[in-house]
Structure 1
């Protein structure tokens, strides 16, 4: 067996899963309105047409292993899968049924094939499963997986390739149907020393940030000085790593701080080798970002080494170690016992007093000198809900600052001044952007805007309401 399979079998035993028969829980509650389900169903439906005469079942599951749908032209296979409850509405996570293809793919966030007797439960040994995780192309969060199941007597050589192709096509379709946003940069597993200039937005502007940030920073700093392991949770881009790095710097001014971002699953072993040898060394603090994205076996390895380092340091030097994640309940189970203190970093929309200080800092760094903002630009920045938090704010201001020493609302992208909550089509996005481009032109009247857009004034007003556009007046 591979290392991953051995680790999965051990977890299955620890979970108390039966070796004889599976007993997955039935929820009956399916999210069939998500973009992932919409795109995945279309991709699998197309693939199903080419495999209609093959003994293969195609499925989508959510991030918890809940089977969302199932397709197959082989009725005997479908009846057999019903007998082991591998059907819509049943959760097939590793914790529920032991080692299986889709459960292990979700646990390790990596393409997986589990053949015949590699399954933990004997009732699953007549099947071979290939599963591939699907990540949201914008956020990078795990949406679910594509799972292909066949009889164990069938050749499985192409099964994984088909699952990988379906997962890749699903992700590409999700990106195409998103609101024109850029795909997330693939995980690279960087490990670097944190210097003041390398931190996320907020560094060097502590005096300018509001009480919400100061409160989180204070609580994180107190916990770190008390030799506790801190987990910062919150939305992506809100400054989780920043607040921990600042707290570590305050607690240990002379320490080097190593920040590690999660790698692609196949690079995990090399990534561990980059920073694990530094764990527990004098004058070294470790900050691991996005631990909720780590495969289960990597999380187990990290836990064991952190525990060992703390035992070795008992009565001696402290082992400063901190982590970030989206939520505490999203952590791999292996890491939850490590957490002594949780600090929640509020999203930027709840810290409007921080928007302009962060914007000025980002502009100054991008331009190399002070940059001014018009009142209209300041109002637009403050009023924006910032679904991408500080990270998105920095991207927007950096691009604007590269164009001008004075940032006006016309230098900001359309989504900053519009609040449409639903997903726009490409045509709608183009139309909204054109309306914003025209309306942000200095001194333009509504009549002139309508003439340039080829719309009546009434239509312009209706479109403004439809896209929830708010363009502050330039003063």
Structure 2
């Protein structure tokens, strides 16, 4: 007891002298503590108050949390005899998970703003077992008066960094905090072992496709000093050279374009114009695992010459607002073909905006703006005879040509060409082989990218669609709602996005549309296609989580599920909120 009291007096005296004389030597104070005190003082941390900030937008169901949660619960069981808080933070010292062994220690932690959502970075709360770990890059055990802020000096915390097992990057911090009298050096050892188990879980969580992509990326990056990008279905890797080469908007555009290209052949050599006007070249190859494409690894080079096609601007059509390279290439190709009067084939997934692209481009061209759509059920009759042979000719769009009877389609195309009509058609991607005989009628084709390859356009698309769905109304999306939309894969493309916004507007006709106003399916990013029964279960889980205020214990009880089963289902369906 006497040693502990003497130690506290030494620390208190040294800290008080440091506050009066910032350059004073600090004999007897551990080097990492002294260094942290000096950083805290230099950053203006108030030693008399906890002044951290709450962050409402944290991803509390991230891969890190998913891998760490079972380990955290096991660690809490190991130290259940001691009143402690077991905490996981992200790489910015923001608390993602907190598990308490007693309600009393939880109330104390709440009083110190040591709770989920709050930041505990050193620059806000001084020396502690979270922020100081990140500053130091290694384990820290802070006991009693070693804390810089007085309010924390009755407590102890043992923190260890959690690193990505492949990149070595710090992903977060695992920490155990308790009252100082309950502290023991054993806590740091327990936390270190637990952090190691989380890292093993992170390694196991990386599937074969991610591993193969990472392996090729490291090989290409090791032998090149240039900018290297790796893009998978759920993974993006970039080196420092690429991050400093492009601005953030261009970087998103390059990533979107890489996802667009990776399913179009084993080798890539493409030039693209980025939103800023920069022109780059992407050269690389795809990664295949088990017969499927896992991703693309490419070297990105900036070209000095600026070569591009001028793109006409339209008033403000929703789907015409796009900065992704694939979208701009489709727009430019459509402009070139329709300006020349050449028959145009538009390839893309259903709902991706193929017909809207044609309508918007035609409206932007001189003398354009009249579009006639013809579907498989409309082909009967002599509609071609009604097309004027002089003046402004309409653009006739054969909708979903891959669904037409081949003989009927051939007759319609012949009649239209005989009537001198301007001709375009839409087909799905990839175009069916049965269409080979019909494709000779088209001299140009463009491919419309799916919405999942246009993430940089999402905010503009949402704004345009809201203006169409709620004209004249003050309606906008919250940041949380937009993040929810960005995490969803949009298999139905722009059409599905429009439907989701329409449903949200029925719940929130005016004002700020929040994540809870969006349909349940938007809050799911599953790793594989879901069966109808899975969709029902997923929506029920999202609804229960919303009704319980995201309280997983209450949601599990309402659903009649064990808590562990609920966590597994949340991970299985990729539920994001």
Greater RCO, CA 8 A, separation 6+: 1
Per the normalisation by structure 1, the TM-score is 0.50
Structure index of larger Rg:
2
Question: Greater strand percent: which structure?
Answer: 2
Per the normalisation by structure 2, the TM-score is 0.41
